[in-house]
């Protein structure tokens, strides 16, 4: 039996890291998974791992910055109980300033790519009959605790995560009336290929499976904001509440996130 009350799930960025862990966390007999990623080899491996858990898997090589292809994939999935807009990229200033091309890529994937996934999903869910708990569907966007801190070492990344966190939380207020829930997922540091490049200590670093469990449990409980771990969340809120000049002076002494690539 599925561990969660959804039997049809769509996940972007499912080929590795948190996305793969989320897919595996949902995988069970009777569950249909729609998985997308840019790396065909890693995506195939993730799909096989989910099939080994008993799920039916339909995988597609996809770049979420392609709006038409993403919308067609979402609409072609049929009924969806849960959509997780997880695909994202990271990058910082390194030892210099953030390249314009990098900032544009981060926003294209982390913001526009999320909208390319979530908006067609919401449109499709609005036409579905209510399912478990009287809901037509759920859409979770993967933000970050970085959403609460304007870190000088990762300006585009922090801003992109803040944008999708605020968007999901604001939209949930109106979509509830249509039987659709949104969830802003704000993890701390998760051990993934993305964070492996960080040149600084990562407090409360957690394994992808644990992060996926916390994410899915929070969604199942109906939490609008799923933020963890608590000590790091509180620290991020505290740092984010400092006067901007103070915060920038404090964070300038910390190592910056490396540039993308």
What phi and psi, each to the nearest 5 degrees, are found at residue 142?
Answer: -90, 105
Report whether 43 contacts 15 (CB < 8 A).
Answer: yes
CA angle 217, 220, 222 (to 5 degrees): 115
Q: Please give the positions annotated as active site.
A: 157
| Rounded Cα distance, 59 and 166, in Å | 29
| Rounded Cα distance, 257 and 200, in Å | 8
Report whether 168 contacts 138 (CB < 8 A).
Answer: no
Residue from 238, 49, 86 nearest 168 by CA: 86
| Rounded Cα distance, 251 and 93, in Å | 13
Report whether 157 contacts 92 (CB < 8 A).
Answer: yes
């Amino acid at each position: 039996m599925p561990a969660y009350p959804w039997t049809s799930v769509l996940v972007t960025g499912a080929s590795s890291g948190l996305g793969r862990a989320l897919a595996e966390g949902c995988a069970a007999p009777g569950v249909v998974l729609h998985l997308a990623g840019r790396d065909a080899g890693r995506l195939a491996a993730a799909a096989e791992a989910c099939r080994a858990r008993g799920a039916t898997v339909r995988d597609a090589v996809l770049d979420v910055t392609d709006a038409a292809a993403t919308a067609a994939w979402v609409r072609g999935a049929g009924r969806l109980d849960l959509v997780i807009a997880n695909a994202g990229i990271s990058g910082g200033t390194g030892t210099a300033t953030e390249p314009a091309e990098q900032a544009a890529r981060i926003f294209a994937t982390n913001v526009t790519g999320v909208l390319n996934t979530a908006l067609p999903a919401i449109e499709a869910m609005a036409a579905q009959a209510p399912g478990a708990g009287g809901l037509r569907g759920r859409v979770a966007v993967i933000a970050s605790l970085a959403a609460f801190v304007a870190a000088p070492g990762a300006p585009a990344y922090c801003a992109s995560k803040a944008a999708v966190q605020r968007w999901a939380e604001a939209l949930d207020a109106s979509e509830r009336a249509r039987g659709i829930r949104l969830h802003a997922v704000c993890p701390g540091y998760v051990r993934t290929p993305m964070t492996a490049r960080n040149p600084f200590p990562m407090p409360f670093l957690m394994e992808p499976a644990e992060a996926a469990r916390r994410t899915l449990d929070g969604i199942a409980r109906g939490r609008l904001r799923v933020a963890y771990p608590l000590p790091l969340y509180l620290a991020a809120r505290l740092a984010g509440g400092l006067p901007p000049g103070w915060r920038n002076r404090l964070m300038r002494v910390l190592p910056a996130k490396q540039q993308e690539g």
